[in-house]
Amino acid sequence: MSLDHIMVIAHKELREIVTNKALAFSGIFFAAWFSIMTGLGVGEEQVARVSQLNNSLFYMGALIGLFVGYIYSGQTYLREKQTGIVETLLCSPVSLRSIWIGKAIGVAIPSTILSLLAAAAITALANRGAAQAMLPSSTVLVHLLLVVPVFIITAVALMGFAQLMLGMRENMIVNMAAIMLLFAALAVTRMVVEEAEFVTWSAVGGLGGASLALLAITAALGRFLSRERIIRTIS
């Protein structure tokens, strides 16, 4: 597995996402819509607003990145299988793991950027008419800058593995199941945070640890990647 090959693949995927106007717009629209709805939903009372802002950023930062990654990974993995482009990649002198990881990075970068921009928009909208400026707490900033990117690339890599190894019908079922599982995990985390009324270091560490554990499991799955298996699943 070569770092140069990974970066080449990642750059290719990033360029295709950016130049595909319809695809890029779908991710931007989703991030913008939910950031606006979340920001406008923050209450009026100053103390409650601070708590709501931090809780919203903790939850929505990861959720927006997850769904944008889901949208973009469909183009990166499934569409290339449907059009046969992946066959050309498989015939290139690039390892299968480099292709898989490069594609995941290429999807995770714009997904993370949109997630952070959405967090900034939520913060700006929550500050409308505020007596004094509100900023995310240090725990939320660490969460957004460190935990969320790991969570996003883990989710994208996991979805990518399924999309490469499974047939089209199985892909739809597994991807939806993976999204529901990750969404459920975020929902449970949100409930824990809301019950505590503020985002704690333990909540950030818990989600971060879970993301790293899932990343390790996903990396271990890489040994099961098979060019023959992928070829058999191309429609």
pLDDT at 199: 76
49-63, 83-97, 106-120, 130-144: range with lowest mean pLDDT: 83-97
| Token representation of residue 5 | 């090959």
Mean pLDDT of 201-221: 86
What is the structure's pLDDT at 92?
72
Q: Give the model's pLDDT for residue 182.
A: 66
pLDDT given for residue 194 in this prediction: 60
Domain range for 205 is 3-233
SS (H, E, C) the chain: CCHHHHHHHHHHHHHHHHHCHHHHHHHHHHHHHHHHHHHHCCCCCHHHHHHHHHHHHHHHHHHHHHHHHHHHHHHHHHHHHHHCHHHHHHCCCCCHHHHHHHHHHHHHHHHHHHHHHHHHHHHHHHCCCCCCCCCCCHHHHHHHHHHHHHHHHHHHHHHHHHHHHCCHHHHHHHHHHHHHHHHHHHHHHHHHHHHHCCCCHHHHHHHHHHHHHHHHHHHHHHHHCCHHHHHHHCC
Q: What is the pLDDT of residues 106-162, one digit of tens each?
A: 999 999 999 999 999 988 888 876 667 788 888 999 999 999 999 999 988 888 888
The residue-averaged pLDDT of 206-231 equals 83
Q: Is the pLDDT of residue 234 over 80?
A: no
Most trustworthy range by pLDDT among 54-58, 87-91, 174-178: 54-58
Q: Which is more confident, 91 or 168?
A: 91
Mean pLDDT of 46-74: 81
Q: For residues 183 and 109, which has the higher predicted lDDT (pLDDT)?
A: 109
Angle at which helix 96-126 crosses helix 3-19, to 10 degrees, equals: 50
pLDDT, average across residues 185-203: 68
Average pLDDT for the chain: 80
Average pLDDT over residues 24-50: 75
Query: Cα–Cα distance between 151 and 211 in angstroms, integer?
Result: 5
Looking at the predicted structure, is the pLDDT value of residue 98 above 90?
no
* Nearest in space to 152 (alpha carbons), one of 60, 59, 67, 27: 67
Mean pLDDT (whole number) for 203-221: 87
| pLDDT confidence tier of residue 197, bands split at 50, 70 and 90 | low
Q: How many domains does the chain have?
A: 1
Task: Over range 100-107, report the average pLDDT.
Answer: 88
- The stretch 9-20 carries a mean pLDDT of 84
